[in-house]
Amino acid sequence: MGVRTPFVYMVDPVRAEIVMEYVKGTNTRDKINEQICLKIGKYTSILHKNDIIHGDLTPSNFLLSNELVLLDFGLSYRSNRIEDKAVDIRLLEEIFKSLYHSKFKSFYDSFLEGYGTLIDSKEVNRILKNLKQIDLRRRYA
């Protein structure tokens, strides 16, 4: 689909074993900037356009190698629900707010710019509207 991930060589469910490619790189958590956030947004839009919810969308689950590499699909699942896509984005938004408070706006705006490259603007607006509704449901705001 255009999202770089480690290649999976073997899965043995009986022995609970996965053998996959080792990807040498730096965790984006330590090198994040607006350009990386834009690329994270593009990767997320590819996943969501194909109804894949990552489930743990954080800068720690991306590596900088020759290209950006997305890791850890352990919580991922398939869904076309707007709510699920919004929840995926909400986690990343919260991480940006807590870890990169002074750069939050520029990082999140760059992410949204990347996210809007492949998904129809009406769909993006529905997802962001749902994201606001999720925030309003929080018990302690």
Q: Annotated catalytic sites, by residue?
A: 56
User: What would the 3-class secondary structure string for 119-133 be?
Assistant: CCHHHHHHHHHHHHH
Distance CA 131, CA 127 (A): 6
Residue 2, Ramachandran bin (φ over 0: left; ψ between -120 and 50: alpha; else beta): left
